[in-house]
Copies of this chain bind each other. A is one copy, B any other.
Amino acid sequence: MSSALTDSAQQRVFNFSAGPAALPLSVLEEVRDELVCYPGAGASIMEISHRDKRFVDLLHDAQATLRQLLGISDDYEVLFLQGGAALQFSMIPANLLRGTGKTAQYLLTGSWGKKAIKEAKKEGAAESIYDAGETNYDRLPAAGDYQVADDAAYLYYCSNETIQGVQFTDEPACPDSVPLVSDASSDFLCRPLDISKYGLLYACAQKNAGPAGVTVVVVRKDLLQRSPADLPGYLNYNNHAEADSEWNTPPTFAIYVLGKIAKWLRDDIGGLDAMLQQNQEKSQTLYQVIDQSNGFYRGHAQTEARSLMNVTFNLPNDDLQASFIAEAAKHDLTALKGHRSVGGIRASIYNAMPVEGVNTLANFMKDFAKANG
């Protein structure tokens, strides 16, 4: 392993897991150092009450750092919830669609959007107005490919489809009258966003923002008036908003780690502009190897839809794919197997994947292609 990594990282690999995924080493080291005794508490952060001032301060701090990074105004709530994206698939239509008599419209650009609309249909009228299934979700909608109704309950899309490796570069076109809802689970905090374009944006943490077990929901306050009073209490955004994410015991440890990662992004990386630049460079490094491999590596996503976060590609055959994964592991490059529903190789290169890890993979890919091409 490289000398750039610190002592405690001697055994560490470059981990390309799609999620839960690599976290910043400096954050892990801080968490380790505070694990038994959180400073001033005489106890682990896991052991203190969520109502303890130390934890409440830490929760507020995590919210404030996210607001600062993304420029989130007071028109929006920032909530920390449990249940992952899977629970949001239901909570969003339960709060924003149920009982409205309107239709929610969905853009389907991959596996996660498909899961989301399935749950929405249980709560009310939901329809897909774009579905790239015919080309196995390798692309994004072009201008004119879909039409959003002016009175839609909301327009839903997944900004980055981890399985297919397809990412929107900008928000999809949407009338001002329709709240835009984004599943940003796998590209949250990878770049600056104009939050004012969104009605609701959410992300489970375990890609760019923290460990599994906490989900960030950023929601425009006026939309919360839509929530039916008879929703299961946990599913009603208003309960969480009114209680500042302490309607019940929140996942305290996960929020604590998320707060540290947000600070790492702000202070060590230098904010989301700097993060975007690094993400562009990292992804470009890998896509270049693919494009210059004379067809040995074949990218799944169309060029203009390529994800900054998940680089998906195939090799000429299954044997070579298996051999690629096995050889890569010998170079401490792990978790490269594509999702079972797509196959091939997937290199997830979220914010915390060091440039060095991407360069090491790129060099390995070149060598492997030369030896086997």
Contact = CB atoms under 8 A, between A and B. Distances in A.
Interface in A1-57: 8-9, 11-13, 15, 17-23, 25, 28-29, 31-32, 35-37, 41-44, 46-50, 52
Given A86-B248, A233-B86, A234-B90, A43 B22 contact: yes
A50 B250 CA distance: 21
A21 B55 CA distance: 13
Given A36-B29, A83-B234, A234-B86, A48 B212 contact: no
Contacts of A36: 8-9, 12, 25, 28-29, 32
A213 interface: yes
A59 to B, nearest CB: 12
Nearest to A122: B230
Interface string A237-254: 000000000011111111
B46 A23 contact: yes
A42 B332 contact: yes
Residue among A13, A49, A206 with the highest chain B CB neighbour number at 10 A: A49
What's the dominant secondary structure at chain A's contact region?
A: loop
A338 interface: no
A235 B9 CA distance: 40
A334 interface: yes
Given A36-B29, A37-B12, A253 B211 contact: yes
Contacts of A231: 122
Contact of A84 (B48, B82, B84, B87): B82
A77 interface: no
Interface residues of A, number: 69
Copy number of this protein in the oligomer? 2
Nearest to A40: B11
Contact of A87 (B83, B204, B214, B250): B83
Contacts of A31: 35
A249 B9 CA distance: 26
A265 interface: no
A368 to B, nearest CB: 20
A47 B25 contact: no
A228 to B, nearest CB: 10
Contacts of A204: 249
Interface string A166-206: 00000000000000000000000000000000000000101
Nearest to A123: B232
Contacts of A257: 46
A211 B29 contact: no
B50 A20 contact: yes
A249 B86 CA distance: 9
A338 to B, nearest CB: 12
A107 interface: no
A335 B49 contact: yes
A48 B87 contact: no
A119 interface: yes
A11 B42 CA distance: 5
10 contacts: A12-B37, A15-B47, A32-B35, A86-B233, A87-B248, A91-B232, A94-B232, A251-B254, A253-B253, A253-B254
